[in-house]
Copies of this chain bind each other. A is one copy, B any other.
Amino acid sequence: MSSSRCVRKLEVVSPVPADIDVANSVEPFHISEIAKDLNLSSNHYDLYGKYKAKVFSFLLLSFLFLLLLMRMPMSLDFDVLLSVLDELQGSKDGYYVVVGGITPTPLGEGKSTTTVGLCQALGAFLDKKVVTCLRQPSQGPTFGIKGGAAGGGYSQVIPMDEFNLHLTGDIHAITAANNLLAAAIDTRFFHESSQSDKALFNRLCPPNKEGKRKFSDIMFRRLKKLGITKTEPEDLTPEEVKKFARLDIDPNSITWRRVMDVNDRFLRKITVGQGPEEKGMVRETGFDISVASEIMAVLALTTSLADMRERLGKMVIGNSKAGDPITADDLGVGGALTVLMKDAINPTLMQTLEGTPVLVHAGPFANIAHGNSSIVADKIALKLVGPGGFVVTEAGFGADIGTEKFMNIKCRYSGLTPQCAVIVATIRALKMHGGGPEVVAGKPLDHAYLNENVSLVEAGCVNLARHIANTKAYGVNVVVAVNKFSTDTDAEMNAVRNASLAAGAFDAVICSHHAHGGKGAVDLGIAVQKACENVTEPLKFLYPLDIGIKEKIEAIAKSYGAAGVEYSEQAEKQIDMYSRQGFSGLPICMAKTQYSFSHNASAKGAPSGFILPIRDVRASIGAGFIYPLVGTMSTMPGLPTRPCFYEIDLDTATGKVIGLS
């Protein structure tokens, strides 16, 4: 059992103060203390200040390997170490718990808060080894409308300003890498347009001091792709020179956009190249928020340094005029991208308010990507807690999107098997699904949400029930966590419990971790433990990989309640292209609203019989998924007239951040 030294008993105040005030009310443990609780010595991480550490994912795994293999001689080939770990991990991992939610209101139903609260209960009250795996939030919304993402009330990750801002620089590294690739694309297009094949080739392979031309290592990747086995530039035929040197990018096919970790709506659609030196080679493009970068999805789905190198190199940025995919390695930049990302592959260790460990790593957008934190962090965490311990990881959006992608994309790539899925529900959201009035952020709640109304709750449980059934189908036990608000009544909560059990949930528990910290989630912790200990089925995916793109889309659509799928002309064209290019074996990452099972955000409850429209189909080849667009997805948020930043400042006398929410 646990021998944690870093347990802090919270003294809770009612009503719960502002998040930043709760966060600032405790002095965090030095992160080396948290690490010690996980049996990590100072060789296994780099400190980033006093409260953050980057855990060496691959050195760490080699260390564990050593532990496991009783100090066998150590090899420097980490990939080999990784595969040994893979073989051993079935017997040695802790329990793996994923937290999803019902279809939410625009206010959010407290999934992150529940994830943190559950871990505080397991670690600080139930004496279990536990690690919380969370996504790193985008800095954009922190200054916009949403505020931070460290949980809330007495269930938070601290220091919350460090969690929400910069952290250990991973998102900044993604921004840098994404935009280096973007610059490489436009520059190459520009240079190709003004140079002959021979001149281009001579510049790509310039003579060295001795007058000899050489291919750089990365060029052999393109040569191999082209089927050219020659190793000396001088030996290429003019035809081969042309094939090698001229990528012949079709500018209209470029899907790679620039990114920025700021809510900057004016960058959604822009024209670049208007400077006089760019000689009129203007092009329409745009910026996404950094967490929407494919590089973020690569970081979240990679399993080793070597795997990350390959994924970054094979990211497709568009097509040649002949319709062949062009990759980062074709542009010679896959290695540089990996160098920029080499520290980002290490997860950041932090702590909860009650001193339990947290690994923060990656934060891919939940709409155009898969919305889950990293495989690397989960794998490390499962080893660190060991048998009988718990790793709790959050899946973004409702379970129809977040948990579905967790299972069919993340677990497929990681080979990991969850035992339990938590579904977070609130009385508020259930009432909305039962027919309650629209819930709008920033507007006062209707009285239906503030007073008892059991029949609304009962009616809304159709939404919860479908999420339970869908999630259960993966072979995991489902525990419903009702995130209790002060206005909720016993009768309403009983209704949810009954409906949950009727729908096949393993258990359903009322929690008050926002108001009470881990103590408020002890029942949830016990239920999760039982659920993990009583798994009877193996993990089952919703669809196999070796069927067509459309069949996979249709399997997912069915889980939404759709009667069928309708493809736009553009979607058909893209599906044909990806199939022709050999990418049809990838899993599917649906880009759909989180506010309904269907494509129509106002269709609450459990809609069925609708036809799901697929507007377009895109792909993140490096990350490893195809993403069909169901409706329009915004990939760059905006700022309101009065953004959060009006409240944020630094107390220059103490160096403390104020006003962060």
Say yes or no: A204 contacts B652, CB within 8 Å: no
Which of B143, B191, B217 meets A649, CB within 8 Å? B217
Contact pattern, A 238-279, Cβ under 8 Å of B = 1, otherwise 0: 000000000000000000001011111111111111111110
Say yes or no: A184 contacts B269, CB within 8 Å: no
Which of B77, B161, B191 meets A653, CB within 8 Å? B77
- Of all chain B residues, which has the CB nearest A167? B169
For window 158-209 of A, CB contacts with B under 8 Å fall at 161, 165-166, 169, 172-173, 175-176, 179-180, 182-184, 186-188, 190-191, 195, 200, 203-206
Minimum distance in angstroms from A35 CB to a CB of chain B: 13
Which of B204, B261, B286, B332 meets A645, CB within 8 Å? B332
Contact of A645 with B50 at beta-carbon distance under 8 Å, contacts A172-B169, A179-B260, A650-B309 already known: no
Point out the residues of chain B lying under 8 angstroms from A200, CB to CB. Answer: 641
Contact pattern, A 618-661, Cβ under 8 Å of B = 1, otherwise 0: 00000000000000000000111111011111101111010110
Point out the residues of chain B lying under 8 angstroms from A54, CB to CB. Answer: 49
For window 329-347 of A, CB contacts with B under 8 Å fall at 332-336, 338-340, 342-343
Question: A58: CB under 8 A from chain B?
Answer: yes
Say yes or no: B284 contacts A274, CB within 8 Å: yes
Which of B172, B283, B640 meets A166, CB within 8 Å? B172
Contact pattern, A 323-363, Cβ under 8 Å of B = 1, otherwise 0: 00000000011111011101100000000000000000000
Cα(A269)–Cα(B281), bound, Å: 12
Copy total for this chain: 2
Point out the residues of chain B lying under 8 angstroms from A647, CB to CB. Answer: 216-217
Question: A485: CB under 8 A from chain B?
Answer: no
Cα(A260)–Cα(B195), bound, Å: 28
Question: A46: CB under 8 A from chain B?
Answer: yes
Cα(A659)–Cα(B638), bound, Å: 40
Say yes or no: A333 contacts B169, CB within 8 Å: no
Say yes or no: A179 contacts B339, CB within 8 Å: no
Say yes or no: B267 contacts A649, CB within 8 Å: no
Minimum distance in angstroms from A55 CB to a CB of chain B: 12
Contact of A305 with B652 at beta-carbon distance under 8 Å, contacts A176-B172, A641-B195 already known: yes
Cα(A306)–Cα(B332), bound, Å: 45
Say yes or no: A187 contacts B638, CB within 8 Å: yes
Contact of A267 with B262 at beta-carbon distance under 8 Å, contacts A204-B642, A305-B655, A340-B165 already known: no
Question: A219: CB under 8 A from chain B?
Answer: yes
Chain A residues at the B interface, C-beta cutoff of 8 Å: 46-50, 54, 58-59, 76-79, 139, 143, 161, 165-166, 169, 172-173, 175-176, 179-180, 182-184, 186-188, 190-191, 195, 200, 203-206, 216-219, 258, 260-278, 281, 283-284, 286, 304-306, 308-309, 332-336, 338-340, 342-343, 442, 638-643, 645-650, 652-655, 657, 659-660
